Chains A and B, each alone.
Chain A
Amino acid sequence: MTVSTTPATSRAISVEINGDTVEREVPASRLLVHFLRDDLDLTGTHVGCDTGSCGACTVLVDGLAVKSCSILAVQADGASVRTVEGLASDDGELTALQQSFKDCHALQCGYCTPGMLMSATALLERNPHPSEADVKLALQGNICRCTGYWNIIEAVVAVGQGGAA
């Protein structure tokens, strides 16, 4: 059997994060969200429930929305990961979605916002002009403790219609 298939308590992983390749040795028990927040200091990704229920920790793994509290960092070996830090450009220009969240007052305390933005980003990549119903389905896994759902839905729909009304 080759070395890579011998069980070990840690693994050297290579992950593309927001366009940069990151190579690290990580313990097998490290959750992806802790790898992002604690090892890489990418603290935009939040931990809400830590049980796979709230979606605050949502990131994109190979373009798909995933709860980073419910997978191990080693499971992301070889994948491309996008976090909320990867949305705005380096000079701070917001994406159309982020701008729309701002325009529509789609955040109150902001705790759920990174997860909402990542789920909605994945939706808009698949479906650039989502209906209200499409948005509700796509954000089903994201809970907002401030319950500001209407403005969030409005903000995502508005992006597909060319911006906030």
Chain B
Amino acid sequence: MLLREVEYARPATIEEAIALLSGYDGARALAGGQTLVNVMKARAAAPDVLVDLADLDELRRIGFSADQSALELGAMVTSTQIGASSEVEVARPVLAEVVSTIADVQVRNRGTIGGNICVNDPTNHLPPLLVALNATMTIRSVAGERIVAAEEFLIGVYTTAVEEGELLTKVSVPTRRPGSGDAMDGVTLGAHGTYLVSAAASVSPGGVRIAIGCVSAAPVRATAMEQRLASGDFSEASVRAAAEGLGASLDPPSDVHASADYRRHLAEVSAVRAVLRAAQRAKG
């Protein structure tokens, strides 16, 4: 399909990228292009200027914060890179496990963590996972840098805390502590397909964080379930009891694949499975 005429620039530094994003009307960052190029074909997005982040090596880096408390993933790190990273394997292996089930090899070779969360499609894998892991996002603009928690970052479909003229540069995920464990579960359309409902859980000595995907425009925290599990009883009976009423508290969409009621049911099932597996992993 032919695309509408568009301008293109490939800055060599983050400062140049930000200058372009803030200096031109209708400018938009281009990461892997896996979503953006396809929505441009459908004319669902019509940027005037594409600012290609490909040459910003700093955004392709995986490393640790100065005090080693957080795993840092540059916005242009691809799913394939995360899946093969020894840093991720040590610090937060669930990330590699989950990205390796996104779509297919070709999409994982191009698709980036930054693109995945900036699109914030409700069916995407990373938004609920990063909420459960209590990740933070670093956003830069001409004015400087600000850090936003995943829950505040993910606002709605294609809507995030990144404002016009700003660039997401980094995702920071707390490194795994002894006695903690993470898992993601859900029901997909076919193996490695799109999620109908997803649930991510992170169990640690401090408590449990649970985020549900595909039930709203952004991931939803299962706060009542989290509170009921604060006692630290992760037996199957306790986790099942804690999930009761979760479905009824949600207002998910209905579509050809699943009714709203079925999604409510799947939310409870997925949350139970994710929490049980996370708790199992926390035991080591």
Interface positions of A (Cβ within 8 A of B):
1-2, 4-9, 11, 27-31, 34, 50-52, 55, 58, 64-67, 70-72, 74-75, 77, 119, 122, 137-138, 140-142
Q: Which of these binds chain A: B29-37, B66-74, B168-176?
A: B29-37
Q: Which of these binds chain A: B6-14, B212-220, B263-271?
A: B6-14
Give the Cβ gap from A32 to chain B, nearest Cβ, in Å. 10
Residue among A11, A27, A58, A71 making CB contact with B37, cutoff 8 Å: A71
Q: Is B5 an interface residue (CB 8 A)?
A: yes
Closest to B37 in A: A70
Can you add 8 more A-B contacts, CB < 8 Å, to A4-B12, A52-B37?
A7-B7, A28-B5, A52-B38, A55-B106, A65-B106, A70-B34, A75-B33, A142-B104
Give the Cβ gap from B148 to chain A, nearest Cβ, in Å. 27
Residue pair B34, A29 in contact (C-beta under 8 Å): no
Residue among B19, B51, B52, B191 making CB contact with A75, cutoff 8 Å: B52
Complex CA distance for A9 and B5, rounded to whole angstroms = 7
Residue pair A55, B3 in contact (C-beta under 8 Å): no
Residue pair B5, A72 in contact (C-beta under 8 Å): no
Contacts A/B (CB < 8 Å), 11 sampled: A2-B12, A5-B9, A9-B6, A31-B37, A52-B38, A65-B105, A70-B33, A72-B37, A74-B8, A75-B54, A140-B192
Residue pair A141, B106 in contact (C-beta under 8 Å): yes
Residue pair B12, A65 in contact (C-beta under 8 Å): no
Which of A2, A4, A9, A52 has most chain B Cβ within 10 Å?
A52
Residue pair B33, A9 in contact (C-beta under 8 Å): no
Q: Is B163 an interface residue (CB 8 A)?
A: no
Question: Which residues of chain B have C-beta atoms less than 8 A from A138's C-beta?
Answer: 105
Residue among A8, A58, A66, A140 making CB contact with B8, cutoff 8 Å: A8
> How large, as a class, is the contact surface on chain B?
35 or more
Residue pair B33, A71 in contact (C-beta under 8 Å): yes
Residue pair B109, A28 in contact (C-beta under 8 Å): no
Decide yes or no: A52 and B7 within 8 Å by CB, A1-B16, A70-B33 being known contacts: no
Complex CA distance for A152 and B47, rounded to whole angstroms = 40
Closest to B42 in A: A51
Question: Which residues of chain B have C-beta atoms less than 8 A from A55's C-beta?
Answer: 104, 106
Residue pair A7, B49 in contact (C-beta under 8 Å): yes
Question: Which residues of chain B have C-beta atoms less than 8 A from A11's C-beta?
Answer: 8, 10
Residue pair B3, A31 in contact (C-beta under 8 Å): yes
Give the Cβ gap from A59 to chain B, nearest Cβ, in Å. 10
Complex CA distance for A95 and B269, rounded to whole angstroms = 48
Which of B19, B51, B104, B191 has most chain A Cβ within 10 Å?
B104
Residue pair A8, B7 in contact (C-beta under 8 Å): yes
Closest to B48 in A: A7
Complex CA distance for A7 and B34, rounded to whole angstroms = 21
Q: Is B120 an interface residue (CB 8 A)?
A: no
Complex CA distance for A55 and B32, rounded to whole angstroms = 16
Closest to B4 in A: A29
Residue among A6, A51, A140 making CB contact with B38, cutoff 8 Å: A51
Decide yes or no: A29 and B20 within 8 Å by CB, A4-B10, A71-B37, A75-B52 being known contacts: no
Question: Which residues of chain B in 79-125 are interfacial with respect to chain A, using CB atoms and an 8 Å cutoff?
Answer: 80, 103-107, 109-110
Residue pair A65, B109 in contact (C-beta under 8 Å): yes
Give the Cβ gap from A63 to chain B, nearest Cβ, in Å. 10
Complex CA distance for A82 and B182, rounded to whole angstroms = 39
Residue pair B80, A64 in contact (C-beta under 8 Å): yes
Q: Is B1 an interface residue (CB 8 A)?
A: yes
Residue pair A74, B34 in contact (C-beta under 8 Å): no
Question: Which residues of chain A have C-beta atoms less than 8 A from B16's C-beta?
Answer: 1, 5
Closest to B104 in A: A141
Complex CA distance for A34 and B105, rounded to whole angstroms = 22
Question: Which residues of chain B have C-beta atoms less than 8 A from A65's C-beta?
Answer: 105-106, 109
Residue pair B8, A9 in contact (C-beta under 8 Å): yes
Complex CA distance for A29 and B46, rounded to whole angstroms = 11
Give the Cβ gap from A140 to chain B, nearest Cβ, in Å. 4
Which of A27, A67, A70, A142 has most chain B Cβ within 10 Å?
A70
Residue pair B19, A1 in contact (C-beta under 8 Å): yes
Give the Cβ gap from B25 to chain A, nearest Cβ, in Å. 11
Complex CA distance for A1 and B104, rounded to whole angstroms = 38
Question: Which residues of chain B have C-beta atoms less than 8 A from A75's C-beta?
Answer: 30, 33, 52, 54
